[in-house]
Structure 1
């Protein structure tokens, strides 16, 4: 399985992080009823992201060899984005998510 991690501005749709275009080290896990994303990245690469940290959406696209791509959209609330300069680590906490397969969703609309 191939995975693409995206962090986008919720209003403008501008991508701040897109591992499909520029790789970064990241990990994510569910902790109780939240999802925690940890990204190893230099502050210079995300300075613009930090200006909009209360208006972000996170996506994970999971691409399988013999199945349609599964997309997961994570909702990021206020005060859910932190950056540690000492560790060079961005942390994003999402309170909820929705997973869907676009091909199945669009077929239900017809």
Structure 2
């Protein structure tokens, strides 16, 4: 399975993080009230811009499989906190909800 994580500004569509273009370690974990997405920032990423737009972020997880259709998981940050730990070089995004779907099933 191939997996790509993308963090975008939901209003303007600006991409802040794209792990296929800038590989970095990340994890997505289910919590009691949503999902915790943690990324270790080892590339040139403008953390200040991400934090500036933290209430307007969408996080996408694209999963491609050899034996089944690709899936897209869309995480909505909404009011979920977004924090950055300078010592760990880690940004943590809490998403309140998500939608998982197969993009090929939504076409005209």
Please report the TM-score for the alignment, with normalisation by the length of structure 1: 0.88
For residue 9 of structure 2, what is the aligned residue in structure 1?
Answer: 9
For residue 63 of structure 2, what is the aligned residue in structure 1?
Answer: 62
**Structure 1 residues without counterparts, runs of 5 or longer:** none
Q: Which runs of structure 2 are paired with 1:14-93 in the superposition (5 Å)? A: 14-41=14-41, 45=45, 46-93=47-94
Equivalent pair of 1:43/1:85 in contact (CA under 8 Å): no
Q: Which has the higher helix share?
A: 1
Q: What is the deviation of 1:33?
A: 3.6
User: Based on CA coordinates, which of the two structures has the bigger radius of gyration?
Assistant: 1
Q: What is the deviation of 1:79?
A: 4.9
Q: Match of 1:49, SS?
A: helix
Q: What is the deviation of 1:42?
A: 5.1
**Structure 2 residues without counterparts, runs of 5 or longer:** none
Please list the CA deviations of residues 65-87 of structure 1 after superposition, one character each: whole Å capped at 9, or x if unmatched.
Answer: 12221000000022520111121
Equivalent pair of 1:43/1:88 in contact (CA under 8 Å): no
CA distance in 2, matches of 1:14, 1:42: 20
Please report the TM-score for the alignment, with normalisation by the length of structure 2: 0.90
**Pair 25,5 (structure 1): closer, same or farther in 2 beyond 3 Å:** same
Q: Match of 2:106, SS?
A: helix
Q: Match of 1:54, SS?
A: helix
